[in-house]
């Protein structure tokens, strides 16, 4: 027996080591770097797309989730009276129900003034929180900037690196007290992102400024949604708090270094800095089982047949909110060169190519919106039709139903540019463009 135990001990230790490695890998983001054309035609310079994918690991049980620090900011101006304020309060109450006793919540309400109904506190005296939310009624103007700022100040009282620090804003109207331009609110979002706070914006009805709401959410790496009716608020809050409660990483820094001779041209969809051969971007958070990605275009120099080239290296650093460690990942993008057109086509990465088509078409749709804003309706219609044709062609080429669906959406949008339909349609297109650029899962 003694000899048998000695014989199997190394195997047991090895198995334990493998299990420990598997557990460590399970609690780490997956980094996937892929090139649209990993086999390139030799003898000439050409362009390619590189996708840097970051996929969150699954959360096992509720005990492993990241504690939250969230401020719910509710518009209580006069336009929110009746069904809107009632449904907004119901959605807020449902969100509170999903939080645990160690989560932190605050509730801020604003019209022309701002009141902190519930100062930042742990979710323990739920009845008192419910009572404060139920006391809301609507009247007055819309000091949106001040409302978000106050909500952020409540979050900052307990902001920690390993908490989810979030402001969730609901508004149905135009900001008409204090700073009120998309630039002003975008700057506010950017400054909050640097403090580790994201802002999710929910626009209710067709009276709000979608450019302002998108700028605030986009610059802070939050989510954005268009709630056409007050009844939509509970569903949207459900999606949003599903994200809030599934954050597994924060403060993600992505650094991409292109090889000598490889020129970065642009980053699609996501804000990033290009300095020489280096691309730098950040994400405020990543969610369990969801992918966020950075997609960029490069020009690759000519190489001879049979050669290989490392076109870029990727380094990712982030705060793992589950293990409470700072994790570092690395990978690289490689291509080879062939004089065979068949080999080049056979090697194409369909996923990267479809993603690049979606983001390129998204930019074209934004240009169509700009044309419609200028009153150039026929030109906007032509731009949407041309983009639909482009999407259909690429859908056939890459056998993509997603691209085909986007072509169909473009044609439907083309029919809704008349003044009577444009306010709603513009919000639909703004939401879709935002969610595609930011890989929002809902």
What pLDDT was estimated at residue 61? 64
Q: Are 333 and 300 in contact (CB under 8 A)?
A: no
Give the start-end residues of each E strand in 348-417. Answer: none
Residue 239 forms part of a structural domain: yes
Residue 191 and residue 210 in one domain: yes
Average pLDDT over residues 295-304: 98
Q: How many domains does the chain have?
A: 3
Q: Which among 224, 200, 204, 176 has a CA at the least distance from the CA of 81?
A: 204
Q: Say how far apart CA 256 and CA 277 lie, in whole Å.
A: 8
Among candidate residues 245, 276, 307, the one where a domain is terminated: 245
Residue 136 forms part of a structural domain: yes
Can you tell me whether residue 66 is helix, strand or coil?
coil
Tell me: pLDDT of 142 over 60.
Answer: yes
Residue 262 forms part of a structural domain: yes
Residue 274 and residue 385 in one domain: no
Residue 52 and residue 108 in one domain: no
Residue 377 and residue 428 in one domain: yes
pLDDT band at 246 (very low <50, low <70, confident <90, very high): very high
Give the list of residues 6+ apart from residue 194 with CB closer than 8 angstroms, or none. none
Q: Say how far apart CA 374 and CA 428 lie, in whole Å.
A: 18
Query: Can you give the CATH number for the domain in which 278 is found?
Result: 2.60.40.3670
What pLDDT was estimated at residue 62? 53
Give the list of residues 6+ apart from residue 415 with CB closer than 8 angstroms, or none. none
What pLDDT was estimated at residue 25? 54
Tell me: pLDDT of 3 over 90.
Answer: no
Tell me: pLDDT of 44 over 90.
Answer: yes
Tokens 């020129």 locate to 263
Residue 259 forms part of a structural domain: yes
Tell me: pLDDT of 93 over 60.
Answer: yes
Residue 300 and residue 430 in one domain: no
What pLDDT was estimated at residue 173? 81
Among candidate residues 196, 212, 245, the one where a domain is terminated: 245
Average pLDDT over residues 101-115: 96
Question: What DSSP element (H or E) covers 44?
Answer: none
Can you tell me whether residue 271 is helix, strand or coil?
coil
Pairing of strands 247-258, 46-55: unpaired
The per-residue pLDDT for range 361-375, each reduced to its tens digit, is: 999 999 999 999 999
What pLDDT was estimated at residue 18? 38
Average pLDDT over residues 92-105: 96
The per-residue pLDDT for range 211-234, each reduced to its tens digit, is: 999 999 999 999 999 999 999 999
Question: Residues of the chain with pLDDT > 90: what percent?
Answer: 89
Q: Are 308 and 39 in contact (CB under 8 A)?
A: no
What pLDDT was estimated at residue 19? 38
Residue 388 and residue 239 in one domain: no
pLDDT band at 32 (very low <50, low <70, confident <90, very high): very high
Tokens 């590189």 locate to 50
pLDDT band at 7 (very low <50, low <70, confident <90, very high): very low
Q: Say how far apart CA 180 and CA 215 lie, in whole Å.
A: 12
Residue 13 forms part of a structural domain: no
Average pLDDT over residues 236-247: 97
Residue 237 and residue 118 in one domain: yes
Q: Say how far apart CA 437 and CA 269 lie, in whole Å.
A: 5
Among candidate residues 291, 307, 339, the one where a domain is terminated: 339
Residue 89 and residue 224 in one domain: yes
Pairing of strands 278-287, 104-110: unpaired
Average pLDDT over residues 246-256: 97
Residue 362 forms part of a structural domain: yes
Polymer length in residues for the chain: 442
Which has more pLDDT, 55 or 178? 55
Tell me: pLDDT of 118 over 80.
Answer: yes
Q: Which among 352, 357, 365 has a CA at the least distance from the CA of 410?
A: 365
What pLDDT was estimated at residue 64? 77
Q: Are 135 and 107 in contact (CB under 8 A)?
A: no
Residue 85 and residue 224 in one domain: yes
Q: Say how far apart CA 186 and CA 166 lie, in whole Å.
A: 16
Q: Which two tokens stand for residue 69?
A: 């620090």
Question: Residues of the chain with pLDDT > 70: what percent?
Answer: 93
Give the list of residues 6+ apart from residue 413 with CB closer than 8 angstroms, or none. 365, 368, 384, 425, 428, 429
Q: Are 75 and 110 in contact (CB under 8 A)?
A: yes
Tell me: pLDDT of 6 over 90.
Answer: no
Q: Are 189 and 149 in contact (CB under 8 A)?
A: no
Domain that holds residue 55: 30-60+248-339
Count the neighbouring beta carbons within 10 Å of the beta carbon of residue 442. Answer: 13
Residue 199 and residue 226 in one domain: yes
Concatenating the DSSP letter of every residue in 303-367 gives --TT-EEEEEEEEEEEEETTTTEEEEEEEEEEEEEES-HHHHHHT--HHHHHHHHHHHHHHHHHH
Average pLDDT over residues 51-65: 86
Residue 80 and residue 186 in one domain: yes
Average confidence score pLDDT of the chain:
92
Residue 359 and residue 332 in one domain: no
Backbone angles phi, psi at 331, to 5 degrees: -160, -175
Give the list of residues 6+ apart from residue 142 with CB closer than 8 angstroms, or none. 75, 77, 79, 110, 111, 112, 171, 173, 174, 175, 176, 177
Average pLDDT over residues 424-433: 98
Q: Say how far apart CA 436 and CA 335 lie, in whole Å.
A: 27
Question: What DSSP element (H or E) covers 391?
Answer: helix 377-398
Can you tell me whether residue 37 is helix, strand or coil?
coil
The per-residue pLDDT for range 64-75, each reduced to its tens digit, is: 789 999 999 999
């Amino acid at each position: 027996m003694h000899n048998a135990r000695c014989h199997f001990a190394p195997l047991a230790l090895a198995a334990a080591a493998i299990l420990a490695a598997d557990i460590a890998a399970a609690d780490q983001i997956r980094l996937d770097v892929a090139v649209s054309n990993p086999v390139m035609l030799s003898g000439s310079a050409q362009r390619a797309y590189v996708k840097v994918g970051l996929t969150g690991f699954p959360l096992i049980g509720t005990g492993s989730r990241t504690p939250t620090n969230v401020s719910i900011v509710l518009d209580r101006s006069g336009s929110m009276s009746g069904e809107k304020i009632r449904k907004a309060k119901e959605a807020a109450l449902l969100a509170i129900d999903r939080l645990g006793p160690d989560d932190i919540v605050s509730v801020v309400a604003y019209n022309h003034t701002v009141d902190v109904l519930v100062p930042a506190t742990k979710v323990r005296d739920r009845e008192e929180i419910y009572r404060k939310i139920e006391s809301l009624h609507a009247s007055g103007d819309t000091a949106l900037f001040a409302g978000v700022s106050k909500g952020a100040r409540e979050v900052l009282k307990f902001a920690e690196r390993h908490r989810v620090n979030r402001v969730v804003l609901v508004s149905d109207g135009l900001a008409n007290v204090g700073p009120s331009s998309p630039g002003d609110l975008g700057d506010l979002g950017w400054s909050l992102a640097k403090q580790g706070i994201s802002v999710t914006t929910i626009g209710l009805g067709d009276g709000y400024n979608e450019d302002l709401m998108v700028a605030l959410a986009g610059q802070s790496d939050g989510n954005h949604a268009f709630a056409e009716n007050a009844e939509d608020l509970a569903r949207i809050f459900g999606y949003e708090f599903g994200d809030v409660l599934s954050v597994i990483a924060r403060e993600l820094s992505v650094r991409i270094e292109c090889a000598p001779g490889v020129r970065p041209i642009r980053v699609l969809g996501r804000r990033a800095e290009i300095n020489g051969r280096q691309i730098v971007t950040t994400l405020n958070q990543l969610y369990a089982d969801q992918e966020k990605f950075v997609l960029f275009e490069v020009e690759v120099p000519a190489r001879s047949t049979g050669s290989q080239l490392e076109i870029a290296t990727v380094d990712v650093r982030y705060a793992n909110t589950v293990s409470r460690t700072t994790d570092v990942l690395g990978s690289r993008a490689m291509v080879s060169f062939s004089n065979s057109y068949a080999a080049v086509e056979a090697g194409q990465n369909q996923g990267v190519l479809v993603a690049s088509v979606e983001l390129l078409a998204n930019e074209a749709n934004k240009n169509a919106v700009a044309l419609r804003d200028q009153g150039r309706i026929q030109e906007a219609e032509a731009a949407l039709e041309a983009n639909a044709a482009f999407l259909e062609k690429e859908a056939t080429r890459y056998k993509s139903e997603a691209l085909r669906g986007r072509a169909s959406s473009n044609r439907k949008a083309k029919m809704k540019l008349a003044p009577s339909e444009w306010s709603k349609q513009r919000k639909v297109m703004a939401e879709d463009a935002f969610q595609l650029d930011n890989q929002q899962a809902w």
